[in-house]
Structure formats: structure tokens, C-alpha cells
A = this chain, B = another copy of it.
């Protein structure tokens, strides 16, 4: 007798699917903001899915979380206060707290149920949320950033795709509020989707940020469970340029993706990506 096979498919575009074998549906919920599922996959271990889109998996989460955290934190010479907007799974907080000079890392997440499900079912990722240097604030990231001025050294925007609750996190008004929420030498990074499938978004975001911040840089990383596998991050900085830092002075921390020799190479862009932001 054949066993039943369960497959999860993310429709990455209307014409393209990413499909993987499921051994178990661990948890599903309709939260106030989105559909949440935690699946056990054969290929990637446990997987967090929001509104049908893969957010993170046990096997490849290190790629995304290290890329979005360590590039800004090693660009800033002394990041003491750091905020993450979104990122309720806690993976970015875990990476931030590998930096000893960080005194406080705030998680600003709109959807408490993402945090609770991650704490319960994804402890490998959420493990640092109970650290005494971490503080979780359940609120709208846009509201939080708008109400706090001159407060953070580094802000990391770990949003979902620009649909549903995250739309406002890709808009110019938000980047202006981020600018004001940062200290005078602060910098921020946002995840900005795939250079293969989201070229208009990357272009718009880059130029919005460039019109506000004196230094704007795009960098790339590889995340196999995200559409195309190639992912972009956009940095806006008031003072420090990620391409000007002395990478020989970067402290070695325990990582699986990021390393000092990779830091500047991440900003070397294929020609078709350069053209997006020209």
C-alpha cells in the first residue's frame, strides 16, 4: 500500500511554485493579521509559513538571519541599542545578541502569535527572545518608529513580503521615520526581496532610501527557500559606509554564512542587479 504524500507548495509567482514534502503539520492558526503555519518538511526541517509564503526553516534560516544582522552590526563601530521591526521568529535577535557590545535588542512585532508559535515550536530560532538583553514590544513597527526619535544605533527591518501587514514597511514615509528614529550616526537595513522577481520594488526602495540617507548600499545573499534563491538587502546609513570598514578588525563570532572576508564581497553586484538601482 502506498503511503499518502503531503506536499506544501508556495506559489512564488503566478507561474512558479516551490513545493516540498511534508511529514507533519505541526500547528496552524489564523492570527489577527495573517495565516500562520508551522510544518515539518523532509528537506528543510521545521518551516514557518505566513500567508502561504515560507518565512524561515530550520535548515536554511542561518543564511537570512546572519545576512540581515551581521552586515549592519559590523558596519556600525559600536552598536549598543538595536531594534528589529518584524522578525517575530526571533532569529535576528539571536544573531544580534552574538555581538557583545549590544546592550539591548528590541523586537518590535505586530503579531504576538508569531512570537508565541515560534517560542513554542521553533526554539532553535527563537531561543534568544528570553535573554535579558532582549525586549519584546508588541506593536505596529511603523507606529513605534514614528514615536521614537534619536534612539537606536541600528534598526533592522525583517518584514514579510510587501503585501498585507508589511506594505507600509516598504514606503518612503517609513524610511523617513526610521531616519529620525536612528541616532546621528545610525544605520538601518531592510530585506528587499528578490532581484529576479521584484526589480521594481528594489528600485523604488533604493531610491526612496537614497533620497533620505547619505549612504545607500544594496547587498545580496543566498537563501534557498526564498524565490529564486537570490535575496537583496538595502542599507541606509547616516555616517558609516559598509564598504569603508576595516574588515581585518571584525571580531570572529560563531556563524555559518557571514565571515569578514565575505563582508565587502556581498556588495559586489551582478551587472543586471547594478542596473536595477542605477
Contacts and interface: CB of A to CB of B under 8 A. Distances in A.
Q: Tell me the number of copies of this protein.
A: 2
Interface string A238-258: 000000000000000001111
Interface string A12-49: 01111111110000000000000000000111000000
A207 B272 CA distance: 33
B272 A256 contact: yes
A227 to B, nearest CB: 8
Contact of A43 (B15, B19, B255, B271): B15
B228 A13 contact: no
Contact of A271 (B222, B257, B269): B257
A276 to B, nearest CB: 12
Contact of A270 (B7, B18, B21, B259): B259
Interface of A: 7, 9, 13-21, 41-43, 60, 62-63, 196, 220, 222, 224, 228-230, 255-259, 261-262, 264-266, 268-272, 274
